[in-house]
Amino acid sequence: MEKKMRAIILLLFVLILSACQDEPQPAPEAESEEEAVQVSEEQIAAQARLTEFIGLWQQKDFVQMYDSYLNEGTKGAFGKELFVDWQQELHRELAIQNLAVNVGEPASDAEWSRELPADFKLELAMDSAGGPVEFTKTMSLLYENDNWFVEWDPSFILPGLERGDTVSAVKELAPRADIVDRNGKGIAVNAVGYEVGVIPEKFDEKRIADVAALLDITPAEITTKLGKSWVQPHFYVPLAHIREDQAVLDQLFAIPGTVRNELTLRSYPFGEPLSHISGFVGPITAEQLAERKGTGYETDDVIGRRGLEESFEDELRGVTAGRILIQKANSGETVTASEREAAQGEALKLSLDAELQKRIYNAMDGKSGTAAAIDPKTGEVLALVSSPGFNPNLFIPNIAQSRYRELANDPRLVFFNRFAAAYTPGAALNPLVAAAGLEAGTVEPDATNKTIGATANNLYDSQLQAQGSEAFAKRLADFGFGEAMPFTIELTPSTLSQNGAPGAAGQVQANILHLAALYTAFQNGGSVYEPTLLAGETPKVWLDSVISEANIEPLEAAMRESIDGFTGSLSLIKAQGNENGLFIGYPTEEPPYVLALLVEDVENEDAVAQKVEEIFNK
């Protein structure tokens, strides 16, 4: 009986539950389609206005930002002058560049309504004179006058910045890195120098001419500086920078009212012999400043102006230290908005032997010409000379216009880099033409001496005819003619003629380093390594097996006839009414390097041979 009652109760419960489930339930009240679209439209509209504002911000169009995007409250609080002029001034003085603004995703519970601010989290990053600046800040847009407008304050320029604060940038240049030779000897280094000035009330203006002569400037330059509007009798007035020269310093500071401050100046210890390699630094020009806009350079900076100082400017300069300081208007406290530590540049170690370079330059004795010395087993360039050179120290800190004109008008063309130029090689090409003939079978091994001893024109023309223009051109192209030689410094490519096709021997042009490199093949089993200027570079074959090993011995035997004790070529080449003397070769016994030496306007071969003897025998 009890079991039946339980079954009846359970059945009634199931029936009641089923009846409840079958009864229709009221559906949850859905948002109207119009309301959903309205929320989406407000979000899209606010984000679109923010995107437009950021675009103008990155373009530094502060006028348009103010006129079309700031809300009335911001305009009333700060005004157009502060918003536009102050931002323009700060961006210029702090060298603010590369502004990046990343807009974060809105919060999932964000309410989008015209009655509420639309808040966006911004991640800001920029480069400045004080280093990178990064911060996060929320920007609000308010709906007024039928659109969304930005609520702004000065802390969007720099974190913590307020109206009335004073902003300044402090810069400290990193020491410029040295350029040294293979033995660590300085080619371009930092040395002690002095800024020299006067205190007007203690200085007798009758001594202006004396001071000008010692500083190598004009009296008019001193008078102009003393007449500047900011000058007061007790102020220090800087006049010029000079290198450390005790005799000059003693004379200067015997004159009452003169003052000196120690500083660092660039110095070139080897002077003229390495001038076309080192180059020099000088004040940055307006053109260079425009080219490097946004990279941290300012109008008072120095920059590499020639040679390796220019080519490796980025590596040598390093990273300038900088700080952006905000002096608070309310408390007077100074806070650091951003800071970047200085990092010295990378020292540049060369394969060059500065003493060998100096020896070759001095042996040329001021004659116009060029030279190259290469280690045949590695391709390392041990010397690369252009004569005459100039003294790069004259450009530190800044050369006088009169002195520059004097150098620029020097008939010896001291600024012309001859090792980067191309010359007619004449009979120096004979061993290579003979090698091409041996490879082609158009020169007999037992006739090598006679072949190399032929005039350049006769040998070149005969092989051109014997091999045919196309085959002959291809064999000479194997020696690198018609292509740019891989090298740190740009050199004029060697060519067979202006149109690239073989013509007469006199049309061939080659730079001195290429010629020296080609003669290294005789000591490398017929291959040529890429010439390298930077120390530590891994030797790499440039021209592979351009001379077969079987042909090297007869060619070397023939070349031993040029100069007693040397293997190579010595010849005179007619050039523009004069004769250039050209030697390429190496001592027959224990050759330390291959030397190519070209001296312009010589009387005979002996004039060149004497210089070769002087270079190798010292």
**Residue 175 and residue 250: Cα distance in Å, rounded?**
28
What pLDDT, on a 0 to 100 scale, did the predictor assign at position 403?
81
Name residue 567's beta-bridge partners.
586
**What is the pLDDT confidence band of residue 4, given thresholds at 50, 70 and 90?**
very low
Q: Is the residue at 240 inside a domain?
A: no
Q: For the chain, what percent of residues have pLDDT higher than 70? A: 93
- Give the whole-angstrom CA distance, residue 25 versus residue 46: 40
Burial class (CB in 10 A: 0-12, 13-18, 19+), 32: exposed
The two three-digit tokens of residue 145, written as one number: 């006058």
Separation between Cα atoms, residue 281 and residue 175, nearest integer Å: 13
Exposed, middle or buried by CB within 10 Å (0-12, 13-18, 19+), for 79?
Answer: middle
Model confidence over 495-545: pLDDT tens digits? Answer: 998 887 888 888 999 999 999 999 999 999 999 999 999 999 999 999 999
Residue 40 pLDDT grade (very low, low, confident, very high; cuts 50, 70, 90): low
What is the average pLDDT across 451-465?
86
The pLDDT value given to residue 438: 92
The last residue of a domain, from among 138, 163, 188: 163
Taking only the tens place, the pLDDT of each residue in 466-507 is 999 999 999 999 999 999 999 999 999 999 988 878 888 889
The candidate with the shortest Cα–Cα distance to 558, out of 585, 576, 536, is: 585
Give the residue from 112, 146, 163 where a domain finishes: 163
115 is a domain residue: yes
- Greater confidence (338 vs 134) lies with 134
Residue 161 has pLDDT above 90, yes or no: yes
Torsion angle in degrees (nearest 10) through CA of 385, 386, 387, 391: -90
- Average pLDDT score over the chain: 88
Rounded to whole angstroms, how far apart are CA atoms 267 and 207?
29
Confidence of residue 590 (pLDDT cuts 50, 70, 90): confident
**319 occurs within a structural domain:** no
Mean pLDDT of 85-98: 88
Residue 458 pLDDT: 87
Rounded to the nearest 10°, the torsion over CA 223, 225, 228, 231 is: -100
CA distance 180 to 216: 29
pLDDT at 109: 74
The answer to whether residue 566 sits within a structural domain is: yes
Phi then psi dihedrals of residue 214, to 5 deg: -70, -30
**pLDDT surpasses 60 at 25:** no
- Judging by beta carbons within 10 Å of its beta carbon (0-12, 13-18, 19+), is residue 561 exposed, middle or buried? middle
Cα→Cα distances 214→54, 222, 248, 249, Å: 56, 12, 6, 9
* CATH assignment of the domain containing 519: 3.40.710.10
The answer to whether residue 104 scores a pLDDT higher than 80 is yes
228 within some domain: no
Which value, to the nearest 10 degrees, does the dihedral of the CA atoms of residues 57, 58, 62, 68 take?
Answer: -50
> What is the amino acid identity at position 190?
N
Q: Which residues pair with 237 in a beta bridge?
A: 198
User: Residue 404's pLDDT is what?
Assistant: 86
Minimum mean pLDDT range among 72-76, 139-143, 359-363, 559-563: 559-563
pLDDT winner (highest mean) among 62-66, 221-225, 328-332? 62-66
The range of the structural domain enclosing residue 40 comes to 36-163
Percent of the chain having pLDDT more than 90? 62
Q: What is the pLDDT of residues 171-188, one digit of tens each?
A: 777 889 999 999 999 999
Residue 364 has pLDDT above 70, yes or no: yes
Query: Average pLDDT, stretch 562-582?
Result: 87
How many Cα atoms occupy the beta-carbon half-sphere of 349 within 13 Å? 7
pLDDT at 618: 67
* Higher per-residue confidence, 571 vs 26: 571
Domain C-terminal end among 120, 144, 163: 163
Q: How confident is the model at residue 259 (pLDDT cuts 50, 70, 90)?
A: very high
Q: Is residue 10 part of a domain?
A: no
Q: Please count the residues of the chain.
A: 618
Number of domains in the chain: 2
Statement: residue 36 has pLDDT above 70: no
On whether residue 217 sits in a domain, the answer given is no
- Of the candidates 188, 196, 199, the one whose C-alpha atom is nearest the C-alpha of residue 262 is 196
Beta strands 179-180 and 348-349, pairing class: parallel
Chain-centre distance of CA 594, in angstroms? Answer: 31
Q: Which of 315, 278, 279, 314 is nearest to 297 (CA)?
A: 314
**CATH code (residue 66):** 3.10.450.100
**Exposed/middle/buried for residue 146 (C-beta within 10 Å: 0-12, 13-18, 19+):** exposed
> What was the pLDDT predicted at 7?
39
For residue 316, being part of any structural domain is answered with no
Cβ neighbour number for residue 410 with a 10 Å cutoff: 13
